[in-house]
Structure 1
């Protein structure tokens, strides 16, 4: 059987990704070490690595699936996140997988928590109930509904507004250190027809993400896909709004400034299907330091009408909440 080795040539070890047996150093097989030693090695890796090395042998599998390893992958506060059925879990790995596959409702059902399966990084979704929505208390403008496709008790359905703004924030101490995060707005159409929404087609919204009390990064997003997949490269908002109002086919325009209106520099983020009955659009990103950050800091995120553009009547969308999840390896910014 071909051997795969851990270690470097300085200590007589080599490396190969094709084998099924791991050795340490010149002659010591990894799977002949005491199980607790193997567990301690795996302890310093990641859930993804633990699942891979468990395929090496029965001995390594037992060590890789030990409670010692998987308790380390669970967040310190995991006992407050797992549901009552946690008493039925046979191991810490099973508990971990439950939190990765089945988000737990926390804070009276206003947030959900889960783990990113491969890394163990923390992910949260703030429900619409946990967000500040402009005019939410006026029944003519918004209404609370139940939705079988939502993990939360209530979703916010937009009846019609002219001024649109949704804000949320979360404490940095709740998130994983040394992690790049993205913020997404999670929503869907209230109806299935092409005319079920009004006022969002080709109307870029402003999105902001940043630490409270500090300058936020700003981008532009669409809540309805553009007709032609146009990316709004260096086009003034006035031009965009004029084209949307007149219904003329969209086309590229040179960089311009009309009546002092603000320009869009770069691409506008468009919504994507999540595969769970909802759509999402990326509002921005931020980074939680390993040790430089103050645990008292908060991250704030928002989406609103562009302040320079003329406001129009909007209707027909349902909002489940805002999701904060870590950037995956190889994922684009």
Structure 2
């Protein structure tokens, strides 16, 4: 402590800029000098993605901030909509890694333009203007693609289907198959996982879910469905090395049993770093 107190504030700023957002926040409590250094724009510019200016220039609404630290936490806590609201962008709070979510309109959904199969409606808690609600299909197929160069390099990502079962949903108890893969395979390409996932259980009664609260609902022989304000299920993981693997493709399919399914509300597919 006595050694660091002798350093000029500029040196302390340089040191903190090589740490992490979490460490910077902790350093603010050491002394007034550390607080000034830890909250400087120089430090928080390092924590923001290198292309953050290009990203926020695509926002559908102004991104108002007075400091780089304020901008950082704004992007962590308030998703911004990009490219005419086609997708949303946030940052992981403690790593600064990029997170994206594709809206339902940008997904490839079998028969999504058939009003007898899907309808487009609004959901108050959704970040997007509209979501896709399943009327009735026997062939359920939902997928999306994203350029790996948009994501943070040297990062393991997980892809999640963000959804909500409607009160009148049925037929969703049948396990679906999920996969994540690079469209252009490389040496380190992710494998098609083809894992079973469960959108709904026979035990998904309202009183059952209230008892579970925020905990994951236990799924038999497949991946967990999890809850926050919305619900999500992991489709798979992949390692984004240099962002030069072309597109990553995420899919959810139930095309084997062909039972009729109704009441699935799809918000989108989210890509976020695996913590």
TM-score exceeds 0.5:
yes
State which of 250, 255, 261 in structure 2 corresponds to 1:301.
Answer: 250
State which of 115, 122, 139 in structure 1 corresponds to 2:91.
Answer: 115
Correspondence 1:211 to 2:187? no
Aligned residue for 1:311, secondary structure, equals coil
CA displacement at 1:76 relative to structure 2: 2.2
Q: Distance in 1 between matches of 2:247 and 2:258?
A: 30
- Deviation per CA, 1:10-44: give whole Å up to 9, x if none: xxxxxxxxxxxx35xxxx2x133111111111111
Structure-to-structure mapping, 1:1-333, within 5 angstroms: 22-23=1-2, 28=3, 30-82=4-56, 85-86=62-63, 88-191=64-167, 196-201=168-173, 203-214=174-185, 215-225=191-201, 227=203, 232=220, 267-274=221-228, 276=229, 278-289=230-241, 291=242, 294=244, 297-305=246-254, 307=255, 309-328=256-275
Counting matched residue pairs gives 255
- Deviation per CA, 1:266-317: give whole Å up to 9, x if none: x30131111x2x111111111111x4x52x5111000001x5x321000011
CA displacement at 1:108 relative to structure 2: 1.2
**Contact 2:136–2:260 (CA<8 Å) still a contact in 1?**
yes
Asked which structure has the greater CA Rg, the reply is 1
CA displacement at 1:129 relative to structure 2: 1.0
Q: Distance in 2 between matches of 1:106 and 1:230?
A: 35
**Contact 2:218–2:224 (CA<8 Å) still a contact in 1?**
no
CA displacement at 1:124 relative to structure 2: 0.6
**Contact 1:225–1:271 (CA<8 Å) still a contact in 2?**
no
Taking a change above 3 Å as real, the CA distance of residues 303 and 90 of structure 1, as seen in their structure-2 partners, is same
Show structure 1 runs of 5+ residues with no match: 1-21, 233-266, 329-333
Q: Distance in 2 between matches of 1:59 and 1:225?
A: 55
Aligned residue for 2:170, secondary structure, equals coil
CA displacement at 1:145 relative to structure 2: 0.6
CA displacement at 1:54 relative to structure 2: 1.1
Which structure is richer in relative contact order (CA contacts within 8 A, separation 6 or more)?
2
Show structure 2 runs of 5+ residues with no match: 186-190, 205-216
Q: Distance in 2 between matches of 1:325 and 1:31?
A: 39
Aligned residue for 2:25, secondary structure, equals helix
Aligned residue for 1:51, secondary structure, equals helix
- Deviation per CA, 1:120-179: give whole Å up to 9, x if none: 010011110111100001000001111111101110000000001001011111111111
**Contact 2:161–2:234 (CA<8 Å) still a contact in 1?**
yes
Q: Which runs of 4+ in 1 moved over 6 A?
A: none
**Contact 2:81–2:88 (CA<8 Å) still a contact in 1?**
yes
**Contact 1:81–1:104 (CA<8 Å) still a contact in 2?**
no
Taking a change above 3 Å as real, the CA distance of residues 226 and 58 of structure 1, as seen in their structure-2 partners, is farther
